[in-house]
Amino acid sequence: MPRKQTPDSEIVEKLRARDPEGIAAAYDRYGRIAYSIFLRITHDNAAAEDLVQELFLRVWNRARDFDASKGSLSVWILSIARNIGIDYARSAQSRFQNRLRPLDQTDPLAFSYQSKEPELFENAKSIREALSELTANQRQVLELAYFEGFSQSEIARKLQQPLGTVKSWMRSALGRLRAAMKTGVTE
């Protein structure tokens, strides 16, 4: 039976109070998507489980750094998840060595942004629709950037396509997604 979803504001409050119920609630809300991301990146169940554990340890240890006025919990957690996943994907070393991530990795909190975005999952339907309507090429370039961490020129080489073509696919794909998120906001 699915567990009751706790609102993000309550999760944050509990995490800040070092209440283990906070991490349980965060896991219930974001564990599945995190596991799906890591499985897509690693293609390895055991590695995906390790990375999920690493993600929630990091969320637990850094909960006091999270500032709700600067962005939603979903964006914060998914940004950390993606960083952890890309570190893994970029590493050619063993799984243990992979834990020794570069010290200069991008920190999702490095930007002092002031988000006026609603919760990511409030417009999940629009996002899903936009992603499902992408062409195969648009989807492929987004996947290579998001899950593999490839730049546009690396994608062009990998797909043996002109850089301009890859940029065009990427631009139109991200444009669709941006538009869908704006639509979701106004709904």
Partner 1 sequence: MTHPEMNELYELYVLNVLEPEQAREIDEHLRDGCAYCNEHLAQAMSVAAALSGLAEEHEAPAHLRRRVLAAVKPEIRGRQWTLAIAALSAACAALLLIVLWTGVSLRSSRARVAALETERRQLTETVEILSRSDTRAVEFGKAEEPHGRVFVNRNHGVVFVGSSLPQIASDRTFQLWLIPAQGAPESAGVFRPNAAGEFVQVRTEPVDLTRIHAVAVSVEPPGGSPAPTTKPVLIVPLG
Minimum Å gap between C-beta 175 and partner 1 is 8
Which is closer to partner 1, CB of 7 or CB of 20?
20
Which is closer to partner 1, CB of 11 or CB of 142?
142
Contacts of 106 (CB under 8 A, 6+ apart): 83
* N-to-C CA span, the chain: 30
Contacts of 48 (CB under 8 A, 6+ apart): 35, 38, 39, 41, 42
Minimum Å gap between C-beta 71 and partner 1 is 6
Which is closer to partner 1, CB of 61 or CB of 165?
61
Neighbours of 80 (CB within 10 A): 21
Which is closer to partner 1, CB of 7 or CB of 100?
100
Minimum Å gap between C-beta 160 and partner 1 is 19
Minimum Å gap between C-beta 11 and partner 1 is 13
Handedness of CA 8, 9, 14, 15 (dihedral sign): positive
